[in-house]
Structure 1
């Protein structure tokens, strides 16, 4: 093998990341739009281009600077069994969710991921201490996801790529259900997101704790409006 080529990810770890990125993972991601449904209703997100631009902004402004940056730190904390650091990161997620809907989302998905991990690793003496610790937090989704991914041999960058693509698929599906967009439009939006995800992951990896943030005021306003929206399909 040429020295300048990266070491291939073991097949088992690659498949585990695909599994974690799958919309079929039973954590409930399909039931949330993270403000997109109210953006369609109130903010003029009414076309393929508008949806794509909205989600690209959300990727770079909210995900890369917030949850993805946190997952970068959380994967290392889980691998070191640094429980204090894990709790600190989990508290950051809870304290920075700007609306009740967004906090309930991360709590519900975190609990579901914790349940999934417990079912996957019953009887595994090496993994269960971390899984039991997760259940005591209470878990948020980014921290629970980081534990699931830390069990693989994947690099932090690969973990972030899988996380972001799973998020992108869920959000595109939310867009297709919220407005009149066809599957082909959805695939074009997903292609734009996939092209942008590597740069977002690299940005997240480079952030220090002091640079991590969760400040998206328009998203918070739309999320608050969604809480009282008369007709809605999604829980956020």
Structure 2
């Protein structure tokens, strides 16, 4: 009798692929448990800027100021805010040699969603694809999805639950559209973005002190 060692290449490949997937999942979990990946300041920064822009936009609407100027308001404020954010990130994170895997995922998530929201908010309305008043429920729906994914990556349950606040507001603004959607969206930014940002930032500072 002869002893034969039979090796199945496809079986080994499947096992190797499964192990790699498990390692990736494990890395995400470890990164999320060891640090608050985004520090929360992005929520506060963009929340304040967007809220101010919304209030100015509301004043422009009730003052019957041309839509062209309203478009300029958002174009200038969003581009300027993005450039300032890039400078802040470059200066504050210059000593950070490598981001955590979850941190890179969050950066990609918010970066791509920001591009989508810019296209919905600026390009979509400028082209006349839809009534500008519907941009607020559209953005709320997008933000709801982003918050759910962000909360899942960071394993923060209450951050995921904020999703339902965004989606509820989106539904109401779709059903009852009007100029007051601007104020409603501004309030949602305060309660669902700025305040959560402050909580995340406080938790990040606490984690640094305890480290």
Larger radius of gyration between Structure 1 and Structure 2: 2
Task: Place the TM-score, normalised by the shorter chain, in its bin.
Answer: 0.3 to 0.5
Query: Which structure carries more helix by proportion?
Result: 2
Kindly indicate whether structure 1 or structure 2 has the higher relative contact order, using CA contacts under 8 Å at least 6 residues apart: 1
